[in-house]
Amino acid sequence: QQPVQSPQAVILREGEDAVINCSSSKALYSVHWYRQKHGEAPVFLMILLKGGEQKGHEKISASFNEKKQQSSLYLTASQLSYSGTYFCGTYSGTYKYIFGTGTRLKVLA
């Protein structure tokens, strides 16, 4: 089942922080985060591994909640270039890779 992201949309001023959540009905093994700009393909941003280790972006970080059924993406000191739609991606079963419902982020000057 498709992970549910919240909020569905958020508007920020440049320099503000944002949190995007990705919730699953079962425990997440690892979570990837992507950003899609309008009219373009999604681009991989970072991975959050099951032990909490992460690889990716300088000003973007992520975490699991206690039961590992939710991952949160933290965008620090947002820039105009952060605007886009964010998706979490994860494996459902061994090989089936699915995406969350998406969160639209708009950063204003």
Binding site for another protein (CB under 8 A): 2, 30, 32, 34, 40-44, 47, 49, 55, 87, 89, 95-102
Smallest distance from another protein to CB 88, Å: 10
Smallest distance from another protein to CB 41, Å: 4
Could you tell me where the DSSP H helices lie in 1-109? none
Taking the chain, what is the end-to-end CA distance rounded to the nearest angstrom?
37
Q: Are 90 and 24 in contact (CB under 8 A)?
A: yes
Smallest distance from another protein to CB 47, Å: 6
Q: What Rg value do the Cα atoms of the chain yield, rounded?
A: 13
Task: Give the contacts of 53 (CB within 8 A, at least 6 positions apart).
Answer: none
- Shorter beta-carbon distance to another protein: residue 93 or 109: 93
- Shorter beta-carbon distance to another protein: residue 21 or 99: 99
- Shorter beta-carbon distance to another protein: residue 16 or 68: 68
Query: Does residue 46 sit in helix, strand or coil?
Result: strand
